[in-house]
C-alpha cells in the first residue's frame, strides 16, 4: 500500500468510532468535512516516511501517529478559518467548516479533532504502551503552548509578532512533531528521536516560506483557499518581508540543510529522495505562482 | 494537605510550563483567567477522593489526573461561553474569557486547555507509564465523541435534543472520567476501574439536576453566572421538564444509588461520608434557591 493510501486509511480508522449510535450526527458530519477531502497531507506523509526510514517494528503504530498529527493540523485549520480569526469562506476548494455547518459546530469539530488525536495515539500504542508517553508529549509540544501551533496562532493577538518565533510555532512545530513522532513510533529512544527534530523543523520552515510566497503570488482558484491574507491581516510573511529573491534563497538553503540533517538510519537514501521530490513539487507550485503573478502585473490587453 | 489545596496546587503545576520565555503572554493570561479563581472543583475532588479510597501508590499521579479533568471542564466552559453558544458575559463571578480577552484568545485558551490536559496525563504517568493508555482513553471518552462533553454540546445544534443522552454526555461523562481515572491512577486494572463508572455517572447526573434547578430558581448574583439560560436557549432542563417535585425526588434517588454503588475498597466509608457532605451542600444551595424563588413570586410590597 502506498503512503498516501496509508494516510487516508489511518484517518478513516481514526474517525470511525466517533459515529457510534447515540452520537450527534451533524457534529460527526462537520468533523468529516474538516478532514476530507485530502489536502496536501504533507505532515502525516513526513511522519510515515521517517518511521519507514527508521524501520517500523509495530504494525499500525506509525499510522496512528501520522493520523494524530494530521487531525491536529485539520483542527487548527477549522479554528483558524473561524470568523474571529481569518474568516475564510473556502478551504481545500470547498466551503470552510463554519460556513458549511455554522460556527458552533466548527468550534466543536476543532475541539473533537484535538481530543481524538490523543485518543488515536493511545489506541495505536496498545501494542507498544511504553512509547505512548513520548508520543503524547511530542504531539502536545507541537500543538500547545509555549511553542506549538496554538502559540503560533496566539501571537496574532499580541501587539507585535516576532516573525521567526511565529513561523516556527505556527508551522514548524507540527512538522517537528511529525518527524520526531515517526521515529518514536518506529522504536527510537528519546535521544534518537530528538535527532529528527532538526529535519522536521527545516522542512516545515521551507514549507511555510513556500506558502508565504504562494499567499503573495497566487490566485485563490489555484490555491483552493483565499490568498493575500497575510497582508490583509497584518501578519509576518517571508515573501513580503524579505522579498521574493531572498525568500527563494532561504527556501533553498533550508531544503539543503534539511536533507543534510537526516540522521543515520536504514532508509536514509529513500527518505532523502522523497524529500527531494516534495521540494521539487513545492518549487513547481511556486514557479507557477511566480509566472501567474508576473502575468497579473502585465497590463490587460 | 487537604484535597482542595491538592487540586489548586496540581492546576498551578499543570499551567506553569506554559509560561516559558518565548510564549505569547496574552494567551497565557487568558488560560490562567479560564482556570482561576476556583469554581466548585467538584470533578477533580471526586477524582482525588476515589484515588484515596482505592489506596494511591504513585505520588502525584492522581493529582495529574484530577488536574486534567478540571482543565477539560474549564476548556468546555470557555468555549460554551463564546458568543456563538451561550454568549455568557460572566463566569465564576468575573468576566468570561472572551469578554476579558476577546474571542480569538478565548477559542485558543480552550484549545490549549484541551491539549494541556493530555500532556499533564503523560507527565504525571512518567512513574507508572503502563497506566497512561487507560488514562488517555478514559479522559478522551469523557470529553470527545460519541458520548463525552463535546458530544453533549453538539446536541445543541441538532433539530431535537434527547434529554437523557444530552445530560449524560454534557455533564455525566466527565464525572465518569473523574471517578474511573481516579481508580486507574491508584492502580486499579481496567475491570476494577470500570466498576467506578456508575458512581461517577450518578453523582454527575445528580449534580446536573441540581444545576438545572438552580438555573430555574436562582438569581445571577448568587450563581456567579447568568441563570434562566436553558429556557432562553431552548435546552432540556430537568427542573422545567419534570417539575420541581419530581426532579428533587430524582436527585435524592440518584444520590442514594450513587452511594450504594461505591465499589468495595479500603476507603469506602470515607468516600461515602464525603459524597454525603457534597450532596448536603448541593441540597442547601437548592433550598436557598427555592426559598429565593418563592420570595421572588411574592408581590413586591
pLDDT digits (tens, 9 = 90+) for A150-173: 999 999 999 999 988 998 999 999
Find out whether the peptide bond into B136 is cis, omega within 30 degrees of 0: no
Residue A225 pLDDT greater than 80, yes or no: no
Cell numbers for A180: 520526531
Banded model confidence at residue A88, pLDDT cuts 50, 70, 90: very high
Position with higher pLDDT, B226 vs A146: A146
Partner residue facing B111 (CB), from A25, A26, A114: A114
Test mutation, A19, A23, A24, chain B, max B CBs within 10 A: A24
Residue A68 at interface with chain B, using a CB cutoff of 8 Å: no
C-alpha distance from B260 to closest chain A C-alpha (Å):
28
What pLDDT is recorded for position A220?
58
Q: Give the residue, B126 or A234, on which the prediction is more confident.
A: B126
- Per the prediction, chain A carries an average pLDDT of 91
Percent of residues, chain A, with pLDDT higher than 70: 93
Question: In the structure, what pLDDT confidence band is assigned to residue A233 with cuts at 50, 70 and 90?
Answer: confident
Mean pLDDT of the residues in chain B: 91
**Stretch 91-130 of chain A: residues touching chain B, C-beta under 8 Å:** 101-105, 107-108, 110-112, 114-116, 118-119, 121-123, 125-126, 129-130
Once rounded to an integer, what is the mean pLDDT over residues B245-266? 93
Contact B155 A24 (CB under 8 A): yes
Place A178 in a pLDDT band, splitting at 50, 70 and 90: very high
What is the structure's pLDDT at A221?
56
Task: Pick the range with the lowest mean pLDDT from A23-27, A142-146, B90-94, B225-229.
Answer: B225-229
What pLDDT shows up at residue A102? 98
- Tell me what pLDDT residue A110 has: 98
Binary contact (B132, A147; C-beta < 8 A) = no
Mean pLDDT along residues A22-43: 96
Cell for B100? 476579558
What is the least distance, in Å, from the CA of B207 to any CA of chain A? 22
**What is the nearest CA distance from A290 to chain B, expressed in angstroms?**
33
Listed range (A201-215, B40-54, B101-115, B193-207) with the worst mean pLDDT: A201-215
Residue B238: predicted pLDDT: 85
| Cell numbers standing for residue B75 | 476548556
Interchain contact B243–A (C-beta under 8 A): no
| pLDDT bucket at B220, cuts 50 / 70 / 90 | low
Over range A267-292, report the average pLDDT.
86
**Cβ–Cβ gap A118/B116 under 8 Å:** no
Contacts of A22 (CB under 8 A, 6+ apart): B146, B147, B165
pLDDT beyond 50 at B299: no
Q: What's the confidence (pLDDT) of residue A283?
A: 82
What's the Cα-to-Cα distance from B294 to each of A280, B291, B300, rounded to whole Å?
A: 74, 5, 12
- Coil/strand/helix, residue B119: helix
State the pLDDT at residue B281: 87
Distance of CA B102 to the CA centre of its chain: 24
pLDDT given at position A300:
33
Distance between CA atoms of A251 and A256, rounded to whole angstroms? 9
- Chain A hits for B166, CB-CB cut-off 8 Å, are none
* pLDDT value of residue A284: 83
Nearest Cβ partner of A22 from B24, B141, B165? B165
Query: Which of A145, A173, A189, A236 is the best substitution to test chain B (most B C-beta atoms within 10 A)?
Result: A145
Q: What is the mean pLDDT of residues A98-126?
A: 98
pLDDT of residue A293: 60
Q: Which of A9-13, A122-126, A247-251, A284-288 has the lowest mean pLDDT?
A: A284-288
Q: Is the pLDDT of residue B150 over 90?
A: yes
Report the pLDDT averaged over residues A270-293.
83
Which pLDDT belongs to residue A163? Answer: 87
Q: Taking the CA atoms of A12, A225, A158 and B94 in sequence, report the sign of the dihedral they define.
A: negative
User: pLDDT tens digits, residue range A40-73?
Assistant: 999 999 999 999 999 999 989 999 999 999 999 9
Q: Is B29 exposed, middle or buried (0-12, 13-18, 19+ CB in 10 A)?
A: middle
Which residues of chain A are within 8 Å of residue B103 when distances are taken between CB atoms?
A: 84
Is the pLDDT at B301 greater than 60? The verdict is no
**Mean pLDDT (whole number) for A264-270:** 96
For a pLDDT cut of 90, what percent of chain A falls above it? Answer: 73
- Judged against a pLDDT cut of 60, whether residue A119 lies above it is answered with yes
Supply the pLDDT for residue B221. Answer: 56
Averaged pLDDT for residues A181-199: 97
Q: At what angle do helices A132-143 and A61-80 cross, to 10 degrees?
A: 20
The answer, for B168 touching chain A at a CB cutoff of 8 Å, is no
pLDDT at site B214: 84
**What CATH number corresponds to the domain at position B164?**
1.10.600.10
Q: Does the pLDDT at position A16 exceed 60? A: yes
Nearest CA in chain A to B113: A144
How confident is the model at residue B294, as a pLDDT?
A: 53
Separation in Å, CA of B84 to nearest CA in chain A: 6
pLDDT digits (tens, 9 = 90+) for B91-113: 999 999 999 999 999 999 999 99
CA distance B170 to A107: 16
Question: Which residue range is the domain that position B224 belongs to?
Answer: 3-297
Select from A125, A206, A27, A72 the least CA-distant residue to B170: A27
Residue A301, pLDDT > 50, answer no
ipTM of this predicted complex?
0.94
For residue A276 the three cell numbers come to: 527531494
CA distance B112 to chain A (A): 6
**pLDDT at A294 > cutoff 90:** no
| Number of domain units in chain B | 1
pLDDT of residue A231: 82
The CA distance from A107 to the nearest CA of chain B, in Å, is: 8
pLDDT at position A290, please?
67
pLDDT for residue A127 is more than 80: yes
d(CA A36, CA A41): 11
Which residues, 6+ apart, have CB-to-CB distance to B139 below 8 Å?
A: B65, B68, B69, B72, B117, B118, B121, B177, B181
Cross-chain residue pair A23–B111, CB shorter than 8 Å: no
Amino acid at each position: 500500500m502506498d503512503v498516501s493510501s496509508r494516510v487516508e486509511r489511518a484517518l478513516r480508522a481514526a474517525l470511525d468510532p466517533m459515529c457510534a449510535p447515540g452520537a450527534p450526527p451533524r457534529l460527526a458530519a462537520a468533523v468529516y468535512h474538516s478532514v476530507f477531502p485530502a489536502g496536501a497531507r504533507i505532515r502525516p506523509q513526513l511522519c510515515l516516511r521517517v518511521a519507514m526510514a527508521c524501520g517500523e517494528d509495530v504494525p499500525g503504530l506509525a499510522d496512528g501517529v501520522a493520523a494524530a498529527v494530521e487531525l491536529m493540523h485539520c483542527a487548527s485549520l477549522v479554528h483558524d478559518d473561524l470568523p474571529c480569526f481569518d474568516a475564510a469562506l473556502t478551504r481545500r476548494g470547498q466551503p470552510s467548516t463554519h460556513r458549511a455547518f455554522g460556527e458552533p459546530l466548527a468550534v466543536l469539530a476543532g475541539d473533537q479533532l484535538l481530543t481524538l488525536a490523543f485518543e488515536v495515539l493511545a489506541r495505536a500504542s496498545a501494542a507498544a504502551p511504553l512509547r505512548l508517553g513520548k508520543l503524547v508529549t511530542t504531539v502536545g509540544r507541537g500543538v500547545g503552548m509555549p511553542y506549538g501551533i496554538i502559540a503560533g496562532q496566539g501571537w496574532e493577538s499580541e501587539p507585535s509578532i516576532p516573525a521567526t518565533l511565529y513561523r516556527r510555532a505556527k508551522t514548524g512545530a507540527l512538522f517537528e512533531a511529525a518527524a520526531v513522532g515517526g521515529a518514536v513510533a518506529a522504536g527510537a529512544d528519546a535521544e534518537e528521536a530528538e535527532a529528527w527534530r532538526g529535519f522536521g523543523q527545516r522542512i516545515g520552515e521551507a514549507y511555510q516560506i513556500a506558502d508565504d510566497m504562494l499567499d503573495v503570488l497566487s490566485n485563490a482558484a489555484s490555491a483552493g483557499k483565499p490568498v493575500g491574507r497575510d497582508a490583509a491581516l497584518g501578519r509576518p510573511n517571508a515573501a513580503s518581508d524579505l522579498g521574493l529573491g531572498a525568500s527563494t534563497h532561504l527556501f533553498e538553503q533550508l531544503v539543503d540543510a534539511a536533507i543534510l540533517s537526516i540522521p543515520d538510519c536504514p532508509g536514509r537514501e529513500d527518505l532523502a529522495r522523497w524529500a527531494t521530490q516534495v521540494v521539487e513539487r513545492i518549487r513547481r507550485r511556486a514557479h507557477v505562482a511566480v509566472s501567474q503573478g508576473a502575468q497579473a502585473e502585465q497590463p490587460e490587453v
